[in-house]
Amino acid sequence: MSTGHLFVLGATHHTAPLAVRERLSLAAETAAGLQMELSALAGLREFVMLNTCNRVEFYGVAETAETVAHLEAAFCSRQQFDRTEFEKIRLTLRDRDALQHLFEVAAGLDSQMLGETEIFGQVKEAYAAAQAHRSAGAVLNRVFQKTFQAAKLVRTHTAITEGHVSVANVAVDLALNIFGGLADARILLLGAGDIGEKTAKAFQSRGASTLTVASRRFEHAMELAQTLGASALPFDQHESRLAEFDVVVGSTAAPDIVISHAAVSAAMRKRPARPLFLIDLALPRDIDPAVASLENVFLYNLDDLAKIAEENRVTREAEMAKCRALLSERADALWRHVQPQVAPARPAESSGAANSPAARPAR
């Protein structure tokens, strides 16, 4: 007898370390091949594949539990992943719990960086791909539409997305608190390392357009400047031209201070009414801490930024219960609505016939 159920099967960052997730991650060609294979899988009425750096998940409507086992086997086989090992790390939920999980994933509650919004776009892309392959039917169409509504509701009515939780984005938020907008802000990046680059990109993503890179090795500065679409400045000029910049990001590996109190004082005499935001991401520090006492100068080091990021994370965590309660109500309501479609009373129907094109739900 065919019972039918909604399911989620997969592995996430909660259960699988990065090295394992790398092996499970679906490349574009593999995903296309698997899509074809799953489309032909008997008993699998609908499915959506969600494949991100933190999770590989299959959402679907299956006729029997064996159907899900077949899906798991097909996936492990394609990824050349030991099935016994997969069973240890897999996430598997059914029916209403699967709905609740999908809601929480889309709302960013299940993300490594709590409350992040990128996952929302990734879920949308996964659903769009399923629609393109005609693997999402009446049930999943409704489920995903309601998922997007629920995720938006959570973002609007709770503080789950408030305040950034990464150091680079916290720095950008602070700059916005000082300058209002970044379109006219002139940014100097000292050092051509990874953390400086990430911070520079965060500034660019929020509207900064005038970026200058200075590094102790000029060729490194040139290289990074080219990557970022910025200009390069000889390192020995960074203090004398400090007054030209509004935001200075220090991220060099220099053993000593590279921006002195005297240099900042001199720069502020040239631009007294315009604030100067100094971000010191270096260890040992690049900027003399004494400059923090100067009027209109705002200095933040790595610890300051990390502390704010942590406060934001705690704020988001405090919103978790509220978010879950909101989503739970909606998951209950949705499950009551889709349950008859997921497990209709069809005693005469065989599992093979259910997967035939004629038996597929209208799209």
Partner 1 sequence: MSHALTDRQWLWFAAECYLVVFLIGTVALLRGRQHSTALTYGLMAVGYLCQFVGLYLRGTAVGGCPLGNNFEIVQFTAWSATTLYLLIGVTFRSSAFGYFTACLTAVLSFLSLAMPAWDATRRTGIFGGNPWIEFHAALALFSYGVFALLALTSLMFLLRNYSLKKKHVSGWFSFLPSIMDLDHIGVRLLSAGVFLMTASLAVGAVWWARDIAAVNTTKLLVTVAIWAAYGLTLTFRLRGRLFAGRFAWTCVVLFAAALLSIGPVNASRHTPAPAATLRLQP
Closer to partner 1 by Cβ: residue 81 or 298: 298
Q: Where are the beta strands (DSSP E) in 14-158?
A: 44-51, 55-62, 91-94
Which listed range, 109-117, 125-133, 294-302, 355-363, lies at the site for partner 1 (CB under 8 A)? 294-302
Can residue 345 be called a binding residue for partner 1 (CB under 8 A)?
A: no
Contact indicator for 261, 233 with CB cutoff of 8 Å: no
Which listed range, 139-147, 203-211, 311-319, 321-329, lies at the site for partner 1 (CB under 8 A)? 311-319
Closer to partner 1 by Cβ: residue 181 or 344: 181
Q: Which of 37, 97, 173, 349 binds partner 1 (CB under 8 A)?
A: 173
Closer to partner 1 by Cβ: residue 130 or 308: 308
Write down the catalytic residue from 32, 36, 53, 325: 53
Can residue 350 be called a binding residue for partner 1 (CB under 8 A)?
A: no
Cis peptide leading into 284, omega within 30 of 0?
yes
- Going across the sheet that includes 44-51, the strands are 44-51, 55-62, 5-12, 91-94
Looking only at the bridges linking them, the beta strands covering 55-62 and 91-94 are: unpaired
Which listed range, 203-211, 310-318, 323-331, 337-345, lies at the site for partner 1 (CB under 8 A)? 310-318
| Structure tokens, 227 | 């990557």
| Structure tokens, 342 | 């997921």
Site pattern 54..93 for partner 1 (x: CB under 8 A): ----------------------------------------
Closer to partner 1 by Cβ: residue 176 or 254: 176
Can residue 295 be called a binding residue for partner 1 (CB under 8 A)?
A: yes
Q: Which of 81, 148, 218, 298 binds partner 1 (CB under 8 A)?
A: 298
Q: Which of 47, 58, 59, 300 binds partner 1 (CB under 8 A)?
A: 300
Can residue 210 be called a binding residue for partner 1 (CB under 8 A)?
A: no
Can residue 311 be called a binding residue for partner 1 (CB under 8 A)?
A: yes
142 CB burial (10 A radius; 0-12, 13-18, 19+): middle
DSSP states of 47-68 = EEEEE-SSEEEEEEEESSHHHH
Neighbour count for residue 139 (Cβ, 10 Å):
21
- Going across the sheet that includes 186-190, the strands are 231-232, 210-214, 186-190, 247-250, 276-280, 297-301
Does 53 qualify as catalytic in the annotation? Answer: yes
Closer to partner 1 by Cβ: residue 177 or 356: 177
Looking only at the bridges linking them, the beta strands covering 231-232 and 55-62 are: unpaired
Can residue 273 be called a binding residue for partner 1 (CB under 8 A)?
A: yes
Closer to partner 1 by Cβ: residue 173 or 349: 173
| Structure tokens, 102 | 């999908």
207: left (phi over 0), alpha (psi -120 to 50) or beta: left
Nearest-approach distance from CB 311 to partner 1, in angstroms: 5
Can residue 193 be called a binding residue for partner 1 (CB under 8 A)?
A: no
- How many residues touch partner 1 (CB under 8 A)? 24
Contact indicator for 238, 190 with CB cutoff of 8 Å: yes
What is the binding site for partner 1 (CB under 8 A)? 159, 163, 173-174, 176-180, 272-275, 292, 295-296, 298, 300, 304, 307-308, 311-312, 315
Catalytic residue numbers read 53
